[in-house]
Structure 1
């Protein structure tokens, strides 16, 4: 099933540019039960409710599959690529082959495929979201949609727009802590590109600042929260998802009070078994719950749906890329033995027995298991993250009692009773940060944490950490229980390699952005 947004003759030349000017061609398949409709223009696509729903599903499809070099998708940007790339930018998983070598070694340039395609697909997603926003606003004025219906679609689109812009900031801009958001951000695109005039206007938008981008991200999420229902289908954006994402964004901003305020809406001010009054979110009893039953569990707040008919394919899907060959995968990326043997990842932790799988004594994530049809959904945010986001914020302002309650809620379902905290550890904040590394291993949260903490002299790595080389990943390395000295040296935050460059195609198309390219490229 395809929906194509047609443009005026002569605009195809703009498709190679990274401004998100795409033909909005998406294969909807499992993303909708609506019958096929061909070649809907951006005018007629919003003339009836079924077409509008099809257009909205097309935005989710762009988030899930995207394109690669203008052809078939590889899970860009959120179907798998954001998770795989973020793990390869960190040190807790190891690139064993050449597939992720550029990302793992931080040798990217303005034309290297992974960073260029990630950038282009993020802006394609943003543009498709903006097209839907324009379309549903017009449909509202025509009486095709009620105000509530139009605002709900706009809320979904603005959430996805915010999520995409934040992902861009994590890779192309310095963290908020660097100058309190005063460093260059990324172009925040709020206008749909549907014509040559739109393209010319977009090419005149510069980077602004990180702080300005965060203000717009939070405004988009506030709108989404105000106009979305609670919902139980977490492959679609809901009110709870908007609030949950705000806890993440505010954590990156260093707004501890804001994190706590948003978390309270989701029940993080309680104790014992935390349950959200919005959406009914709560942790699953076992840490593998969100992965063995990824389509229906209490913990997942928002995930990107994949299916046998619509996924990132063998070169992009989570299971095929992250599983060993013995489980149907490609043995490309392993867990780092240094993470596996870390003192804070206890022996007997259920996340070792349930969420890791060994091949010849080397361990791999077992969160994604369907290497045959590649149907695993990509987790974007879980209730466990909300709890740990708020735990960190509480710890940072001295609310150690509540911080410990939240930490224990996540940690105690996995670690043996003898290893559970009965009182706050000497460094509670470090314990929370370590818990994030274990709990979210293989979910793409490591690079975001490295990025936001890069200037933190006590808890940050100061840039890209030292990493193991593939030859250091052996069965003996896992069984020894030792921490190996990484052969690949750390890259300081002051190195140009800490950030990705804007693609060459983008700076060629946008003279203003050409002047604002990240240094070193």
Structure 2
């Protein structure tokens, strides 16, 4: 990074940027219109909590930052997935996440700095809302104010989780004793509090869980239509995300406790019976391009022609529009568990003898919704925790439900169902098939303390990365190192 850029950043904090985004979102879309912010007029921070419309605009501002290109606008998925073995690069283009594929990020990498600043912008927008609205609940009423604060806490939790799982050592390595991230929980409106030491990984996880518990308590059971149930957090969204967090800690009992809230049955069909009636869709193809607002979508980030990303910032451009990464034939693509007639193979596009991912296939404009969490993932999280806890019949039923909706011939033998390790291997492969391209491969490798695998074709290769290597996790960004003397 150039010295002039660092000097500029020393004078202006990401917190100021966060406040700017929050203020300029105040007259954005109404809640009934989903998350499609339009250009707006800035409003002084002295009166941002004066009207219901401005408060709702602040909530929209959190989501707007959260769905930034480097976070849940899509690129975060690539940061995670390219660390695994499923994709091979064609272009080796640093602007389209090659450094993640090659495990060669440095503190000056654009991806590293953009991811960090985008997530902390969302976090600070959440802090502004939480802190300010606590004293102005009368403007919108107690119930709505608490719901808004719950949304902010949910988004803050997911943002911190997204950071700590790439910039911090895995929780399972030492029960979270390693240094984590600066835990910023107050609204920052200037640069005075830039200096903040890192909290431990376990302290970050404790805050994430506290925020999710608080969110579950005050989030609404549901909204007025399917669009809002997909694009706004509700109680089942918080419960679902907690299964992911506890999975990262190997806290199987806690995964089971949360999962049963939205998966109360022990045999298919599985479906939530309270709040949003979350369930699998009969056909996975429906979820990607046909209907973005199904009951399987516990939370997705929406895009429209007025706020879509373009070119190298768009996940659909990298995977499908420009075809920069193809499926590694030696990865899950070639595994016999993923049969040729499985409908999930219809989410691939053959070209030049290679297979490319087309889960995100809308191009120019790139208006695919980006799934933050789906019901299918919850079933697989539940299955893994059940198997680890000795509930093997339940685990088998859960993983079969996910696989059989795309491949009716799938079966698990009696011997496999009775073998914990065999069943866990099936679940692990199922995650790689079902969640391909949705940002889980790096996450799964790190939480299991497995090395990042080598991958190669005839033109390019990258070696494996052991758990003890410095580049097993992402380096801290120069922007933080330059502005935070206590990091």
What is the total number of aligned residue pairs between the two structures? 460
Q: Aligned match of 1:186 in 177, 181, 190? A: 181
Do the aligned residues in 2 keep the contact of 1:21 with 1:193 (CA within 8 Å)? no
Distance 1:207 1:35, change over 3 A: closer
Alignment-derived partner of residue 425 in structure 2: 430
Q: Secondary structure at 1:463's aligned position in 2?
A: coil
Correspondence list, 1:77-92, <5 A? 77-92=71-86
Do the aligned residues in 1 keep the contact of 2:83 with 2:442 (CA within 8 Å)? yes
Alignment-derived partner of residue 400 in structure 2: 408
Do the aligned residues in 2 keep the contact of 1:20 with 1:125 (CA within 8 Å)? no
Deviation at 1:213, TM superposition (A): 0.9
* Counterparts of 1:79 and 1:262, CA distance in 2: 27
Distance 1:169 1:488, change over 3 A: same
Distance 1:52 1:317, change over 3 A: same
Deviation at 1:254, TM superposition (A): 0.9
* Counterparts of 1:315 and 1:174, CA distance in 2: 29
Distance 1:13 1:336, change over 3 A: closer
Deviation at 1:174, TM superposition (A): 0.7
Do the aligned residues in 1 keep the contact of 2:13 with 2:194 (CA within 8 Å)? no
* Counterparts of 1:360 and 1:301, CA distance in 2: 36
Instruction: Compute the RMSD of aligned alpha carbons.
Output: 2.1
Do the aligned residues in 2 keep the contact of 1:236 with 1:302 (CA within 8 Å)? yes
Matched, 1:248 2:241: no
Q: Aligned match of 1:225 in 208, 216, 222? A: 216
Question: What TM-score, normalized by structure 2, do the two folds share?
Answer: 0.90
Deviation at 1:434, TM superposition (A): 0.6
Deviation at 1:268, TM superposition (A): 4.3
Do the aligned residues in 2 keep the contact of 1:395 with 1:428 (CA within 8 Å)? yes
Matched, 1:292 2:289: yes
Do the aligned residues in 1 keep the contact of 2:296 with 2:374 (CA within 8 Å)? yes
Distance 1:172 1:369, change over 3 A: same
Matched, 1:463 2:451: yes
Q: Aligned match of 1:310 in 301, 307, 312? A: 307
Alignment-derived partner of residue 6 in structure 1: none
Which digits, 9 at most, give the CA deviation of each residue in 1:377-414, with x for residues without a partner? 11110000000001000000110000001011101111
Q: Aligned match of 2:49 in 34, 46, 49? A: 46
Distance 1:258 1:15, change over 3 A: farther
Alignment-derived partner of residue 259 in structure 1: 255
Alignment-derived partner of residue 60 in structure 1: 63
Distance 1:15 1:41, change over 3 A: farther
Q: Aligned match of 1:138 in 115, 135, 139? A: 135
Structure 2, unpaired ranges of 5+? 1-6
Alignment-derived partner of residue 479 in structure 1: none
Question: What TM-score, normalized by structure 1, do the two folds share?
Answer: 0.84
Runs of 4+ in structure 1 over 6 Å off: 33-36
Higher-RCO chain (CA-CA 8 Å, sequence separation at least 6)? 2
Matched, 1:128 2:131: no
Q: Aligned match of 2:483 in 500, 509, 514? A: 509
Deviation at 1:23, TM superposition (A): 4.3
Which digits, 9 at most, give the CA deviation of each residue in 1:144-165, with x for residues without a partner? 0211111111111111100010
Do the aligned residues in 2 keep the contact of 1:21 with 1:127 (CA within 8 Å)? no
Q: Secondary structure at 1:288's aligned position in 2?
A: helix
Q: Aligned match of 2:448 in 453, 456, 464? A: 453
Do the aligned residues in 2 keep the contact of 1:93 with 1:442 (CA within 8 Å)? no
